């Protein structure tokens, strides 16, 4: 079983916390620059934190994710928030949309999951087909140059009542970030793992261009910071021609 089929379950929901979501959506809304009522696809939507906030602001949103656990929580969260969105369970490599969306977002390093590079590339090609002409794609992922320059092999942090340890490795040949995660709660530990292919900006720009998507801007954070090797994120805005 692939790591992402195990990682995004009930336990993930316990330690994933994002109080900054409204500020992130402020940025997404400003950068996509789409009229209210536009159709937006949240690709790998997880439990719906971006999708629900966008729906709250008047966009017609479809959330797409492989995890039934994440989608069930997204539906519950949307109902509690009093907003409507469409939720679809599926593999991102198998998107079947064609010119259905004015915008697509892919947030929180939800790209580069697959060991074979052609499978990651297939996702971007599917995004290009899913967008209307002139539609915009916003992808946010970890910045490879930051990982190389500021590499830390062990990181501890708190998530509510839990303590989380990340033990990290980076393979410069495959350009994959490998992380073993230990979540400690009530004196008991659970272990998880995730592995993603990380990209330089030049690589991402070439992949987007080969998918029919023209890069417009790149940022280093949701505050609009310039993209440098000292910013942990790479946020790229592209447009279908």
My answer on whether 73 and 167 are in the same domain is no
Q: Token pair of 207, please? A: 């992949």
Q: Is there a contact between 167 and 154 (Cβ–Cβ < 8 Å)? A: yes
- The mean pLDDT value for 73-80 works out to 98
My answer on whether 82 and 169 are in the same domain is no
pLDDT at 67 over 90: yes
Q: Token pair of 214, please? A: 């023209």
Q: What CATH number corresponds to the domain at position 176? A: 2.20.25
pLDDT in tens, 6-38: 999 998 998 888 999 999 999 999 999 999 999
My answer on whether 205 and 234 are in the same domain is yes
- The mean pLDDT value for 55-81 works out to 98
Closest CA to 183 of 201, 165, 200, 199: 165
Quote the pLDDT of residue 16: 87
pLDDT at 146 over 90: yes
Quote the pLDDT of residue 80: 98
% of the chain exceeding 70 in pLDDT: 100
pLDDT in tens, 96-116: 999 999 999 999 999 999 999
Output the CA–CA distances (angstroms, integers) from residue 166 to 27, 41, 69, 129, 189, in the order listed. 28, 31, 23, 37, 12
The residue range of the domain holding 171 is 146-195
Number of domains in the chain: 2
**Residue 195: which H helix or E strand, with range?**
strand 188-197
My answer on whether 208 and 114 are in the same domain is yes
Closest CA to 4 of 126, 142, 111: 111
Quote the pLDDT of residue 140: 98
My answer on whether 157 and 137 are in the same domain is no
């Amino acid at each position: 079983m692939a790591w992402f089929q195990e990682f995004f379950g009930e336990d993930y929901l316990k330690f994933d916390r994002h109080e900054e979501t409204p500020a992130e959506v402020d940025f997404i809304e400003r950068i996509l620059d789409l009229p209210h009522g536009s159709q937006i696809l949240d690709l790998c939507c997880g439990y719906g934190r971006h999708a629900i906030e966008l729906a709250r602001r008047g966009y017609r949103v479809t959330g797409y994710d492989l995890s039934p656990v994440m989608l069930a929580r997204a539906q519950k969260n949307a109902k509690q928030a009093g907003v409507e969105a469409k939720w679809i369970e599926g593999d991102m490599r198998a998107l079947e949309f064609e010119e259905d969306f004015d915008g697509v977002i892919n947030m929180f390093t939800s790209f580069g999951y697959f060991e074979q590079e052609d499978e990651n590339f297939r996702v971007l090609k599917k995004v290009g087909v899913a967008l209307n002409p002139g539609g915009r794609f916003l992808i946010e992922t970890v910045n490879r140059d930051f990982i190389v320059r500021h590499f830390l092999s062990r990181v501890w942090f708190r998530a509510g009542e839990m303590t989380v340890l990340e033990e990290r490795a980076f393979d410069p040949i495959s350009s994959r970030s490998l992380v073993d995660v230990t979540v400690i709660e009530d004196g008991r530990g659970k272990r998880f793992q995730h592995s993603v292919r990380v990209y330089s900006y030049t690589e991402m720009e070439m992949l987007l261009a080969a998918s029919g998507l023209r890069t417009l801007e790149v940022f280093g954070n949701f505050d609009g910071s310039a993209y440098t090797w000292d910013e942990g994120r790479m946020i790229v805005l592209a447009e279908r021609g």
